[in-house]
Structure 1
Amino acid sequence: MTKTRHLVSAAALLACSHAWAQAPMKPDGAWRGAVNAGLSFAKGNTDATSVNVDANAGRATQDDRLNFYLTSLYGTKKDNGVSDETANLLRLGGKYDRDLTGRVFAFGSLDAEHDKLQELDLRTVLAGGAGYHVIKNENTLFDLFSGLSYNREKFTTETRNSLEVLLGEESNHKLTETSSLHQRFAVYPNVSDGGEYRIQFDAGVTTSITRRIELKLTLSNRYQSNPLPGVKKSDTLLLTSIGYRLGPD
């Protein structure tokens, strides 16, 4: 019988009572961020290990916002003496927004992704456009946005370059005095190869444990209509991690 230990557990940590939720970021120009990590392993007939690391940093003023992120996941499995990778993923990027009026803003972003199991050596996406603050207050920031992106995908067997339309929405919510939610949904119709498209969805709930320690639950999905032969169109991640918060309250 396989004995399983999980070093990161969500159940016992969601009942904390002190307040350090920070969504959306305070517009004071100060840098804030967090570094999160999670680990799980199984020992027995099958030996399995999984490690995930997540980091983010950003600053906001009354007129602009700058954000950076990094997500990494690596996993291995050993079954009957044979070792295989179960995950080898890295995502990172940054985004800059600047308000043109009280509601309208312009943005630019650069994202990169590596996913060995999808045979994706490197995807880089440069995007820019404009958006509208549907809601903007101290507890909620909800945006609609659109623009264009240039997508370069280097797979193990081929390289693709394409122009895409970008359509999406993004929001940050302070749910309670201890918890916050961030979510983003974006569709990338392919202009260079009509009929093809990509979809991205990311959501994360963060709960304060102490003034500096937080628990984070992340759900992420990537859909591509034209992957390489033999590769599934959709990939979903569900990660739990504990992190350390940086910057002022």
Structure 2
Amino acid sequence: MHTRHAGFRLFAAAGIVCFLTVFAAPPVSAQSVPTPAPSWQSGQSTWNGSGYETLPSPPSINELPDEWNDNFGLSDAQLQQPVVDLPLTDPGGASGAPPIEPIPEPSMPIGAAIADGATLDEPPLREEIVRWYQVPWRWMTKGWENHAEFGLDGSSGNAETLAIQTGLEMKRKTDLYTLALDIDYRQASAQSQTTEDNARLNLDYDRMLGDSNWTMFGKFGIEYDEFKSFDLRLNLNGGLGYYWIRNDNTNIVTRIGAGASKEIGSPDDSWTPEAVFGLEADHKLSARQKLKAKIDYFPTFEDFSDFRLVTDVAWESLIDSSENLSLRLSVTDRYDSTPQGALANDFYYSALLLYKF
């Protein structure tokens, strides 16, 4: 028993001596291989036997010249122009094919060509085909200023009234002529009884005479009114006109001529010779507003006190450019000195919504 304890004590003492020998031994000499330095110190320090010494910073290598920093490494030498000014010929020209045109002189940069207005006309991707039934509509819309108009008002209660006005205006203006078409229709009722039902159509044509401001004009009109003594009134007139101003913003023209009128369905339905004096003007107040006025005076040749006078004044204002919607406030007066039992004067005023196309 004592021998087993003595052997255990001897084994423990030997283990302690080995531990002290391995872990408490003095540092190895300078001739011993030092422990490798950490990776972050590689190349930056050295072992001196008792510690690490930091090495001095290495000298700069391959100092870049100032030209590199100034020009980012690009040389000051000018780039040589490629040799492209030699005319090229078609190698198959001997076989009869025309030679290739020489390459243009490259001295002019593309920027100068663009500044001079050079453009590249690209051929269309496909040919446009117009059907026969599309021709009238294309002619009626290309180069025209057109709009449809509509107005509605009414009341109910003690008095039931309803008034409707619709219309269409089409105008084509070129350097050679001006063609205008105007159609209006009005209908009104009170207490379920029709109190107004009339329509009119006017077709005006002006043809410029050369480069002068003089013009030849023609007028054709049809008027219908249920409450007049005639069923239809026709008038045909022509003559000379003079444009005092004619441009995209302002037009003022006076007209003088002659013609005849006929009242179909009236007690006297014969053609009546008459003269015509007219004044028409329109002016764009701004990009969104426009004024229009028109006066036509039709006296008979036999008696100038027997006449018709038609006056139209309108103001238009653009409401929505994206939808081509405008508001028109208009006043119309039609006077007939021989109403044949009806009132001589018809006065209309309206607020209309216009759709331009």
User: Which interval holds the TM-score relative to the shorter structure?
Assistant: 0.7 to 0.9
- Give distance in 1, aligned partners of 2:283 and 2:277: 21
Q: Which residue of 2 aligns with 1:47?
A: 160
> Structure 1 residue 160: deviation in Å?
4.0
Partner SS, residue 271 of structure 2: strand
The question of 1:57 aligning with 2:167 is answered no
CA RMSD of aligned residues (A): 1.5
Matched-pair contact (CA < 8 Å) for 1:70–1:90: yes
- Give distance in 1, aligned partners of 2:249 and 2:173: 14
> Structure 1 residue 207: deviation in Å?
0.8
Partner SS, residue 227 of structure 2: helix
What letter corresponds to residue 232 of structure 1 in structure 2?
A: L
The question of 1:92 aligning with 2:201 is answered yes
Matched-pair contact (CA < 8 Å) for 2:328–2:351: yes
What letter corresponds to residue 234 of structure 1 in structure 2?
A: N
Aligned pairs (5 A) from 1:98-247: 98-100=207-209, 101-192=211-302, 195-211=305-321, 212-229=324-341, 231-246=342-357
> Structure 1 residue 238: deviation in Å?
0.4
Partner SS, residue 180 of structure 2: strand
- Give distance in 1, aligned partners of 2:214 and 2:250: 16
> Structure 1 residue 120: deviation in Å?
3.0
Q: For structure 2, list consecutive stretches of 5 or more residues without a partner in the other structure.
A: 1-141
What letter corresponds to residue 148 of structure 2 in structure 1?
A: V
- Give distance in 2, aligned partners of 1:168 and 1:210: 33
- Give distance in 1, aligned partners of 2:169 and 2:185: 12
What letter corresponds to residue 177 of structure 2 in structure 1?
A: D
- Give distance in 2, aligned partners of 1:162 and 1:99: 29
Matched-pair contact (CA < 8 Å) for 1:162–1:193: no
The question of 1:32 aligning with 2:145 is answered yes
> Structure 1 residue 217: deviation in Å?
1.2
The question of 1:77 aligning with 2:190 is answered yes
- Greater helix content: 2
- Give distance in 2, aligned partners of 1:224 and 1:56: 24
**Per the alignment, do residues 157 and 85 of structure 1 end up closer, same or farther by CA in structure 2, a change over 3 Å counting?**
farther
Q: Which residue of 2 aligns with 1:20?
A: none
What letter corresponds to residue 166 of structure 1 in structure 2?
A: V
- State how many pairs are aligned: 213
> Structure 1 residue 30: deviation in Å?
0.4
> Structure 1 residue 194: deviation in Å?
5.5
What letter corresponds to residue 204 of structure 2 in structure 1?
A: K
Greater radius of gyration (CA): 2
**Per the alignment, do residues 172 and 194 of structure 1 end up closer, same or farther by CA in structure 2, a change over 3 Å counting?**
closer
Deviates more, 1:147-156 or 1:212-221: 147-156
> Structure 1 residue 154: deviation in Å?
2.1
Partner SS, residue 251 of structure 2: strand
TM-score calculated relative to the size of structure 1: 0.81
- Give distance in 2, aligned partners of 1:142 and 1:43: 44
Partner SS, residue 118 of structure 1: coil
- Give distance in 2, aligned partners of 1:169 and 1:52: 25
Q: For structure 1, list consecutive stretches of 5 or more residues without a partner in the other structure.
A: 1-28
Matched-pair contact (CA < 8 Å) for 1:76–1:87: yes
- Greater strand content: 1
